[in-house]
Amino acid sequence: MNTLKDTLSDKPTRTVKNKKRWQDLPVAARVAIVVLGSIEISLFVAAQVDITHRPAEQIRGGKLRWRLISLINILGPLAYFKRGRIPAASEA
């Protein structure tokens, strides 16, 4: 009778070939990753701060909706700043 251990050990193991480590990446690629990551984090934080301080009447679709949308990589915060905010009378 096969045990769970026998069943699992019968499966071939997968190995990832050509997996690059951080140290193996060229300097330009590492710089690009850090810069783009910093931009993404900055946009996310800026969107969250703006959502927190902006009155609900000045946000299209509700605060929770835009908080969740802003979790979508770099596109979420950009969408919030482009489509989610209703300008105040003094901003228009």
Instruction: For the chain of 92 residues, list the mean pLDDT of each consecutive stretch of 10.
Output: 63 67 95 98 98 96 97 96 88 56
Residue 16, pLDDT score: 62
Distance of CA 28 to the CA centre of its chain: 22
Domain segments of the chain: what residues? 24-84
Residue 13, pLDDT score: 61
Residue 5, pLDDT score: 65
pTM of structure: 0.72
Nearest residue to 70 via CA among 58, 57, 83: 83
Residue 4, pLDDT score: 66
Residue 88, pLDDT score: 76
SS3 assignment, position 59:
strand
